[in-house]
């Protein structure tokens, strides 16, 4: 709202967090969806980014690590995006970098802040908060780091919308920041074990593929091989929404259809759960998929 208006375009890589396109529309700008692929781990391609930018492009939204895919782009991958944005013809593009999962990365990967890359600090709006790494979801406390003129414009808007964050939440955040961060390290190690468990269970399901995520606590498996199948009652599983509804009705497992995130071939599942629940849910997902009646493939002439 502080930077965009009618006639502007904002690049939104897909799969995306569900709110992003609508937030862009609220400002009057147009969301331009930039597809990513499972084969590349849902990382943003610098080539695709360069092709998507035009004189109307005002901003790109980057969520790293990503909700819904768990993709955690490396410093090298982010630098490749920054190289595109440094080109003289692209200097008009701002970056909204959602880094709320920055402390939840796996396999030794160190998070890189986009604003820390050469020449990017002045053009980057970093969004963060306390809901994820600090498990403070109910406090509804987030923050923005940006150049002073941008922060002042944002503050003017916020003062008319939410006024300010509750003082209780602010004191809780101070306590969190002053606490030993080793607690988070232990929780991240637990999440990595749960990620590996969930991936191993998904790997046992025929024709389901899932990249290994480097952060956050989500998996985004491609289940499109089962679209067009039918349940025992003859209902067609046409897409991810139909599959999620069937899974909920018959197996009492709640997952989110990929269509909500602009990646309709997949489902999003969270492994921020107990080992028992993860095992039970993915065992039932396997049972559900393998119980479907698959269309018969035409014989080759």
**pLDDT, position 295:** 82
The count of C-alpha atoms lying within 13 angstroms of the C-alpha of 126, restricted to the half-sphere facing its C-beta, is 21
The count of C-alpha atoms lying within 13 angstroms of the C-alpha of 291, restricted to the half-sphere facing its C-beta, is 16
286 and 205 Cβ atoms separated by less than 8 Å: yes
Distance CA 68, CA 245 (A): 19
**pLDDT, position 296:** 75
Tell me the C-alpha to C-alpha distance, in Å, between residue 122 and each of 9, 89, 102, 218, 274: 20, 17, 20, 31, 42
**pLDDT, position 237:** 98
Q: What is the pLDDT along the chain (301 residues), one digit of tens a residue?
A: 899 999 999 999 999 999 999 999 999 999 999 999 999 999 999 999 999 999 999 999 999 999 999 999 999 999 999 999 999 999 999 999 999 999 999 999 999 999 999 999 999 999 999 999 999 999 999 999 999 999 999 999 999 998 889 999 999 999 999 999 899 999 999 999 999 999 999 999 999 999 999 999 999 999 999 999 999 999 999 999 999 999 999 999 999 999 999 999 999 999 999 999 999 999 999 999 999 999 876 555 5
């Amino acid at each position: 709202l502080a930077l965009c208006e009618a006639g502007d375009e904002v690049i939104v890589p897909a799969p995306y967090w569900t709110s992003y396109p609508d937030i862009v529309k609220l400002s009057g700008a147009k969301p331009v969806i930039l597809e990513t692929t499972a084969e590349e781990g849902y990382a943003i391609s610098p080539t695709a980014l360069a092709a998507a930018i035009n004189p109307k492009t005002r901003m790109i939204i980057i969520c790293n690590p990503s909700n819904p895919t768990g993709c955690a782009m490396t410093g090298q991958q982010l630098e490749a995006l920054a190289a595109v944005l440094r080109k003289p013809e692209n200097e008009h593009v701002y970056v909204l970098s959602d880094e709320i999962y920055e402390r939840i990365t796996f396999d030794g990967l160190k998070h890189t802040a986009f604003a820390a890359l050469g020449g990017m600090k002045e053009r980057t709006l970093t969004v963060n908060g306390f809901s994820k790494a600090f498990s403070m979801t109910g406090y509804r406390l987030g923050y923005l780091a940006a150049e002073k003129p941008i922060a002042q414009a944002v503050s003017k808007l916020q003062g008319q919308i939410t006024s300010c964050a509750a003082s209780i939440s602010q004191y809780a955040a101070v306590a969190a920041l002053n606490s030993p961060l080793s607690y988070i390290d232990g929780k991240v190690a637990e999440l990595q074990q749960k990620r590996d468990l969930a991936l191993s269970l998904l790997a046992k399901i025929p024709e389901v593929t899932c990249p290994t995520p480097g952060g956050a606590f989500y998996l985004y498996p491609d289940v499109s091989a089962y679209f067009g199948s039918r349940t025992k009652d003859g209902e067609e599983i046409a897409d991810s929404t139909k599959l999620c509804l069937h899974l909920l009705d018959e197996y009492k497992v709640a997952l989110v259809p990929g269509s909500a995130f602009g990646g309709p071939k997949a489902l999003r599942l969270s492994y921020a759960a107990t080992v028992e629940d993860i095992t039970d849910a993915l065992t039932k997902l396997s049972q559900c998929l393998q119980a479907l009646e698959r269309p018969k493939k035409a014989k080759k002439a």
